[in-house]
Amino acid sequence: MGRRQELEKRQTLLANFGRLVAAESGLDGLLTIIAQELRKILDVDRCSVFLVDPYKGEFWTKVALGMEEKILRMPLGQGVAGFVAKTGSAVSIRDAYRDARFAQDIDRITGYKTRTILAVPLKGRDGQVLGVFEVLNKNRGCFTEEDEGVLRMLATMAASFIENASLYDELRRSYLETIYRMALVAEFRDQQDTGRHLRRMSRVSGILALAVGLGPREAEDIRYASPLHDVGKVAIPDAILRKPDKLSPEEFAEMKRHTVLGGQMLQNAESRLLRLAGRIAIAHHERYDGTGYPYGLKGEEIPLEARIVSVADVFDALVSKRVYKGAWTLPDALAHIQAEAGKHFDPAVVEQLKLHADEIVAAMEEEDHRFSADEQLASRSQTRHI
């Protein structure tokens, strides 16, 4: 192929590449597409994306195209990719076996014969090395400066995808943690195992939201907003909140204010998720038949998110121990909820609880285990992953 056709072919591939990237939103998918297209554009046998794990001083294969054997983790500095990860400089090699940096043992194990290698660093905004983009064995000839230019261009693109994905992830995680901590503060006086209750009812709310036909994003929002449903309890005096007996009518009237109080705390929030939490907080004790509080809303007048959380909250409250009551068995709790379909609860939500009971109970158990594991890990250092 002449140089002109070669350039034309590259242009076509790059244009095609733009379309593919625009259609993909997950990080793994994006990196795989970049690697696949790069393999075609540069006409190479293998292409891999390595990411650096700065906490462990290692790097690992995020994407490996053309290899049966996936190399999982190596210490920084090992092999050509490790050299690039450590130094942040690009490397082009014409004969791998005559380069001391090349890790020959990998070929020895896989029976592959590496000849040429081109590897460039994936650099973040601050210049730190996030990973390495490596291509092996160009099908004809050696790697040129033009090849290196193409690889660098796509590496820049990949680096920005990686950085955006992890920034987004971190922001989101710290945000969710803030919400979760707010909810804990509100309720820790109330129950010994508040954390457990919140996690479980949050998971169950998310599952029910999906089951009644909401989209994955709405369901996820409900999952993460639901732990705040009782945040208004911060304003309820201990004498009421922690009373081991039945509440007097006056005390219960005071207790009911936690709904409106929670709503007031959240409804003017800037964040969509917090406003959703506010709608849930106000309406989570409304009843489908109109006998609930604070407003006595009926049926569809009650926001769907509150009808969902109400089922999740009561189901979990029933199977949990409280200062004022013992824990119910699962079958008793399920039977109670079913008996209240159309009275306390939206029958459509109860129907989904019944249909998904196994999945829901399994998710609750999983949250219990995660909760216990988190308790143990709480003070240890956090691992960061992309």
- Give residues in contact with ligand SIN (CB under 6 A): 48, 79-81, 102-103, 106, 114, 134, 136, 176, 180, 199, 202-203, 223-224, 227
The strand pairing partners of 133, in sequence order, are 49, 120
The candidate with the shortest Cα–Cα distance to 286, out of 256, 261, 265, is: 256
DSSP bridge partners of 121? 132
Q: Of 321, 325, 343, 370, which lies in the binding site for ligand C2E, with binding defined by CB under 6 A?
A: 325
Helices assigned H by DSSP within 125-215: 145-187, 194-211
Phi, psi of 5 (to 5 degrees): -60, -40
Does 324 participate in binding ligand C2E (rule CB under 6 A)? yes
Peptide bond into 294 cis (omega under 30): yes
Q: How far is the CB of 75 from ligand C2E (least distance, A)?
A: 51
Tell me which residue of 191, 180, 202, 184 sits closest to 309, measured CA to CA: 202
| Residues noted as catalytic | 233
Of Fe ion, ligand C2E, ligand SIN, none, which one does residue 322 interact with (CB within 5 to 8 Å by kind)? Answer: ligand C2E
353 token code pair: 């609880």
Q: Are strands 44-53 and 58-65 parallel, antiparallel or unpaired?
A: antiparallel
Kindly report the length of the chain.
386
Name which of 64 and 314 has its Cβ closer to ligand SIN. 64
The option from ligand C2E, Fe ion, ligand SIN, none interacting with 286 (CB < 5 to 8 A, set by class) reads none
Q: Which CB, 223 or 233, lies closer to ligand SIN?
A: 223
Restricting to residues 217-276, name those near ligand C2E by CB under 6 A.
243, 246-247, 255
**Smallest distance, Å, CB 239 to ligand C2E?**
10
If binding is defined by CB under 5 A, does position 316 make contact with Fe ion? no
Helices and strands per DSSP (H, E), number in the chain = 14, 6
Name the closest residue to Fe ion (Cβ): 230
Contacts of 44 (CB under 8 A, 6+ apart): 38, 135, 136, 137, 138, 139
Give the shortest CB-363-to-Fe ion separation in angstroms: 21
Residue 169: contacted member of ligand C2E, Fe ion, ligand SIN, none (CB under 5 to 8 Å, by partner type): none
187 binds Fe ion (CB under 5 A): no
- By CB under 5 A, which span of 74-82, 131-139, 229-237, 269-277 interacts with Fe ion? 229-237
Selected binder of ligand C2E within 322, 347, 348, 361 (CB under 6 A): 322
149 and 41 Cβ atoms separated by less than 8 Å: no
Residues 6 or more apart in contact with residue 31 via CB below 8 angstroms? 49, 62, 63, 158, 161, 162
**Would you say 175 or 293 has its CB closer to ligand SIN?**
175
**Pick from 163, 313, 346, 367: which binds ligand C2E (CB under 6 A)?**
313
The answer to whether 314 contacts ligand C2E (rule: CB under 6 A) is yes
Interaction between residue 230 and Fe ion (CB under 5 A): yes
Q: How far is CA 339 from the centre of its chain?
A: 36
C-beta of 118: minimal distance to ligand SIN in Å? 11
User: Please, which residue, 62 or 279, has the CB nearer to ligand C2E?
Assistant: 279
Structure token pair of residue 193 = 């195992």
Our finding on whether 188 is near ligand C2E (CB under 6 A) is: no
Reduced to 3 states (helix: H, G, I; strand: E, B; else coil), residue 293 is coil
20: tokens are 């593919």
- Least distance from C-beta 317 to ligand C2E, angstroms? 4
- Which uninterrupted H or E stretch holds 253? helix 249-266
The encoded tokens of residue 368 equal 């219990």
Interface pick for ligand C2E out of 318, 333, 337, 349 (rule CB under 6 A): 318
Give the interface with ligand C2E as residue ranges (CB under 6 A): 190, 243, 246-247, 255, 285, 313-314, 317-318, 322-325
Give the interface with Fe ion as residue ranges (CB under 5 A): 230
